[in-house]
Structure 1
């Protein structure tokens, strides 16, 4: 059996440290899929290498996503360029002469 060196395993484990996840706060059997009940509050947890620890709380799924993916909330401004006209005359094979 081919075993992985301990140093490679430790590298993979350490790469996950600091990862965040949003867990719905629900009674009963525990968390379900994130897409279910998007209006329910969420607990944002952070992986410390051994266990998931509380990091933040969010009122709903949208707020939790803003915490998890802060770079997605900043939209880049579109670069100015020529306006394309999709139905303009062209030279494509499908065009009639």
Structure 2
């Protein structure tokens, strides 16, 4: 049996603290997958190391994704304007050159 040390386990557990998840608020014991009820409200829960605790509320799947993935909703920083892609060709007489 290959047991991991207690310190490695604690590090792995602590790395998950603060993780968020969205749980659809639907009645019954039906499927709770996010793609099945995109217009259903969502409870955003946060992992505290021992249990999922209430964190926020979202009106639908799109709002929940904005909370869960804030970096995806911010526009990317503009890249610098590209310079010339290549240097101009030097004069030559090779077959590949146009007359």
TM over 0.5: yes
Please, which runs of 5 or more residues in structure 1 have no aligned partner? 83-97
What CA RMSD, in Å, does the superposition of the two structures yield over aligned residues? Answer: 2.1
What SS class does the counterpart of residue 10 from structure 1 fall into? helix
The answer for the alignment partner of 2:10 in structure 1 is 10
- CA distance in structure 2 between the aligned counterparts of 1:43 and 1:31, rounded to whole angstroms: 16
Shift of 1:36: 1.2
Count the aligned residue pairs: 85
The answer for the alignment partner of 2:29 in structure 1 is 29
Q: Deviations over 1:7-61 (max 9, x none)?
A: 1001100000000000000111166111111111000000000100000000000
Q: Deviations over 1:41-85 (max 9, x none)?
A: 000000000100000000000000111111111111442337xxx
TM-score, scaled relative to structure 2 = 0.76
Please, which runs of 5 or more residues in structure 2 have no aligned partner? 84-99
Describe the shift of the 1:31–1:56 C-alpha distance in structure 2 as closer, same or farther (beyond 3 A): farther
Which has the greater radius of gyration? Answer: 2
The answer for the alignment partner of 2:82 in structure 1 is 81
- CA distance in structure 2 between the aligned counterparts of 1:53 and 1:27, rounded to whole angstroms: 20
The answer for the alignment partner of 1:43 in structure 2 is 43
8 Å Cα contact 1:25/1:41 also seen in 2? yes
Moved over 3 A (4+): none
- CA distance in structure 2 between the aligned counterparts of 1:76 and 1:38, rounded to whole angstroms: 26
